[in-house]
Amino acid sequence: MYQRIILLMLGVFLVAGCARLPQVELEITRSEVAKAYARGAKVLAPAEYEAASVALREAEILIHREKYRQARAGLNLALLHIAKASELTREKAAELESQRQAEIEAKKFKKKKIKKTVARKVRPKPKAKPKARPPKPKVTLLDEVTIVEGETLYSLAGRKDVYADGLLWPLIYKANRDQIKDPQQIFKGQVFSIPRDKSKQEQEAARKEARDSGLFHP
């Protein structure tokens, strides 16, 4: 379906001619690249996404130099790459979701098995222990958060009870991809999982991705 839409767009480009400024074609291509990024193409189909991004940048330079015929060809190439990237993204996202569901089912089965084993054991009554003073409550980080009015992925990651670093928003985005269609649009009342098992290398990679995306400006 997506490839059919891209082919129709290419047809529009050809009918429009090659001599004039391809402003409409440029806006369409930029929009498709942005949509592919929001779907996770940069991570799930990096080669095709990068090829589309490079073709788009080169076309923008050619437009600036008023080489409209060559620019239009570059825009067409960018759309072909982004169509492939979107197809690969859908396939890999479906595969990842299937793996995630399988892991969830495996965990459920394991919990049921443990409960049955524990139920069979006869536990002796614990000896009465002297009452101790309750420990002071510890400050714990949240593993799930509820989005409030006006919040963004950047401001959410910057909360002290989350990561205290807005540039780590890609970690939240990837962990909740089933709820987030566009990283710049989250809604009040959504409940997001917060990954706590990320290494320093993964965190640094997330910061770099956040800076490269240019979606949020601290």
Domains and CATH numbers, the chain: 2-95 (no CATH), 144-213 (3.10.350)
Q: Does residue 182 carry a pLDDT above 80? A: yes
CA–CA separation, 18 and 158 (whole Å): 47
Structure confidence at residue 124 (pLDDT): 63
> For the chain, what's the residue count?
218
pLDDT value at position 125? Answer: 67
d(CA 42, CA 197): 22
Per-residue pLDDT, 141: 56
Encoded tokens for 133:
């003073």
How much of the chain, in percent, has pLDDT values that exceed 90? 47
> Which SS3 state, helix, strand or coil, does residue 39 take?
coil
Nearest partner of 175 among 26, 59, 163, judged by Cα: 163
What pLDDT is stored for residue 133 in this prediction? 63
pLDDT average, residue stretch 69-87: 92
pTM (whole model) above 0.95: no
How far is residue 90's CA from residue 217's CA, in Å, rounded to a whole number?
29
CB 82 within 8 A of CB 94: no
Question: What's residue 112's pLDDT?
Answer: 79
Quote the pLDDT of residue 143.
83
Distances (CA, A) of 45 to 40, 83, 92, 123: 8, 11, 8, 53
